[in-house]
Amino acid sequence: MASSCTVAIAIVLFLLSFTTPLFLAKPLHHSHHPRFASHNYRDALVKSILYFEGQRSGKLPSSQRITWRKDSGLSDGKSMGVDLVGGYYDAGDNVKFGFPMAFTTTMLSWSVIEFGGLMKGELNNAKEAIGWATEYLLKATAHPDTIYVQVGDAGKDHSCWERPEDMDTPRSVFKIDKNTPGTEVAAETAAALAAASLVFRKCNPSYSKLLLKRAIRVFAFADKYRGSYSNSGLRKVVCPYYCSVSGYEDELLWGAAWLHRATRSPSYLNYIQRNGQTLGAAETDNTFGWDNKHVGARILLSKAFLVQKLQTLHDYKSHADNYICSLIPGTPASQAQYTPGGLLFKMDDSNMQYVTSTSFLLVTYAKYLTSARMVVKCGGVVITPKKLRNVAKKQVDYLLGDNPLKMSYMVGYGARYPQRIHHRGSSLPSVATHPAKIQCRSGFSVMGSQAPNPNVLVGAVVGGPDEHDRFPDERQDYEQSEPATYINAPLVGTLTYLAHSFGQL
């Protein structure tokens, strides 16, 4: 693959394959380290990246480590005369949704950009995970002023419970173009390509240039032909699954911020200065996830002021500080809700995505503040970078098992974790154990059963407990039991930071 970066790392991993597999490694104890880690963050990191291999669509490589998955979706795009083989299934179904896939790619890339230098042997695996997505995004953006944003009819897909390897539902292809704009998905795709170009800049310069060139073209398209894909002819296709509620302004600011970081071109800085306020730079909607990028853009742009000393972006430090003050308990502006067990709680459906993305922003902003020797002031309360890191660590520790149920919400990590995740491939017998096709409807008998999933989707983080710390572990409960790529992506960066800070990497 074009993303493969270093032969040296591959050789090391090959040699390691003859010893204990990385994802079965025993907890590491570094007695020389002054602080005690209650969790093996390195083990969780390895698994959080491994998970993406279980979500792959297309022709799987010989290096595939989640071996119960096989090739799938090998004719994707054919009906439209394009090659759309590859990419990721976003969650527990078999549809390829471009909007969350692009956000996943941006967040995986940001994780590597900020913390990849600490990843050691996992860096190559993280780059492979990003490359699997960028190869697909390059195919989806191959034609100017056109982006293929979805493969699969979600309604028909959801009427079946079948393995991706058995798919017989329509692989309908949906696109945005000049006449059917989709600014939010286009701008997020530009952000993903720009962020990934930074990941590959040193190890694969020609691939990096290709990604950046495409990002520039895609962003220009996003900006010129403005309109929400949720309000276009695609409304019935993308809603209610990945409807854009926050509009497209946040993605334009976010996309411009990533292009500014990747190109250092004054044109993007001018764009941000001219349009920042109208694109919602000072918005107080403090949810960061696949739909809303305002907070992420603020943190990202604050780096340009804090670290690169770009004075014209000084407002983004105060915008970022306002977000922090809304989040930290005990500050005058605090609005965040926490469960009795201490988990940040924002939404009933897949709340863990909010937890992982927020934790990533906390450790990343702490990094920028430390570099600039600055703090956050919330009224009379001073919030230090250390405090931000502690809040993030508490959230990750809860996710990994420090919670009222003493359950890890990452599959395959710890002694107790969800057994019945809402995921077709994990819940049905693998092709190896059951070679015969499992028909569309017959899988529902498994979906409704209490039997544990036969295939362990190692590293998958599920939607998580409710506001009272309850988690039923039922397959039908997709709000709490479904994993998703955009839950895992920001967690990769936070786990890297924690593993390194406790001497595990």
Give CA–CA dist 12/156, Å, rounded: 44
Entry field: residues in the chain: 505
Q: Choose, from 128, 157, 251, 473, the residue flagged as catalytic.
A: 473
> Residue 187 carries which side chain, given as an amino acid letter?
A
For residue 422, indicate whether it is catalytic: yes
Residue with tokens 């508490």: 394
Give CA–CA dist 39/82, Å, rounded: 46
**Residue 464 token pair:** 């998580």
Alpha helices in 401-484, H assignment, sequence order: 424-427, 444-447, 478-481
Q: Where are the beta strands (DSSP E) in 221-371?
A: 337-338, 344-345
Give CA–CA dist 24/48, Å, rounded: 13
Strand order of the β-sheet with 96-97 is 96-97, 146-151, 173-177
Give CA–CA dist 40/30, Å, rounded: 11
C-alpha triplet 217, 197, 78: angle, nearest 5° = 60
For residue 90, indicate whether it is catalytic: no
Give CA–CA dist 163/437, Å, rounded: 9
State the DSSP code for 58.
B
C-alpha triplet 51, 53, 59: angle, nearest 5° = 165
Give the H/E segment covering residue 383.
Answer: strand 381-383
**Residue 204 token pair:** 């694969």
Q: Choose, from 135, 166, 291, 482, the residue flagged as catalytic.
A: 482
Q: Choose, from 39, 260, 319, 422, the residue flagged as catalytic.
A: 422
- State the pairing for strand pair 381-383/146-151: unpaired
Non-local (6+) Cβ contacts of 234 within 8 A are 149, 150, 174, 176, 180, 182
Give CA–CA dist 174/473, Å, rounded: 34
Radius of gyration of the chain (CA): 21
**Residue 466 token pair:** 């409710």
For residue 473, indicate whether it is catalytic: yes
Non-local (6+) Cβ contacts of 425 within 8 A are 54, 68, 69, 163, 164, 165, 455, 457
Q: Which residues are catalytic?
A: 422, 473, 482
